[in-house]
Amino acid sequence: MTIREIQGLLNANVLFGDELLDLDTKFAFSADMMSDVLAFAEHCSVLITGLCNPQVVRTAEMLDIACIIFVHGRMPDKHILALAREKKMAILTTEHFMFTTCGILYEHGLRGGV
């Protein structure tokens, strides 16, 4: 599934990374605890989180995550967006809660990477 398809399914706003929307991904992982992301997420997954701080981008960088989806309308600040720009990661935000976001993506074929 491409990031563009994910964006459409979630009716998400692209805050950064329009040029990355055609990247393909096979897995998604959702968590607010970055230690869980480091321990269990597959490399090159999409990260779904409600946590909105720079550690999310730094954690995603370690796993070559190309897209972070902030749920429940969370809006990352300019520092998070600048860091994502530097690391070349797409940043999306959706009004859906985490559970719903995961359900929509699962229903359309995106699987968890654990």
pLDDT of residue 35: 95
Task: Read off the tokens for 21.
Answer: 């929307």
pLDDT of residue 99: 97
pLDDT of residue 7: 98
Count the neighbouring beta carbons within 10 Å of the beta carbon of residue 19.
Answer: 9
Query: Is the Cβ–Cβ distance between 18 and 2 less than 8 Å?
Result: no
- As a residue count, the chain comes to 114
pLDDT in tens, 16-65: 999 999 999 999 999 999 999 999 998 889 999 999 999 999 999 999 99
CA angle 113, 74, 104 (to 5 degrees): 40
Domain enclosing residue 103, as ranges: 3-112
Check which CATH number belongs to the domain holding 53 and give it: 3.40.1390.20
pLDDT of residue 44: 85
Query: Is the Cβ–Cβ distance between 52 and 74 less than 8 Å?
Result: yes
Task: Kindly tell me if the per-residue pLDDT of 113 is higher than 80.
Answer: no
Task: Kindly tell me if the per-residue pLDDT of 114 is higher than 70.
Answer: no
Give the number of domains in the chain.
1
Task: Read off the tokens for 55.
Answer: 């550690």
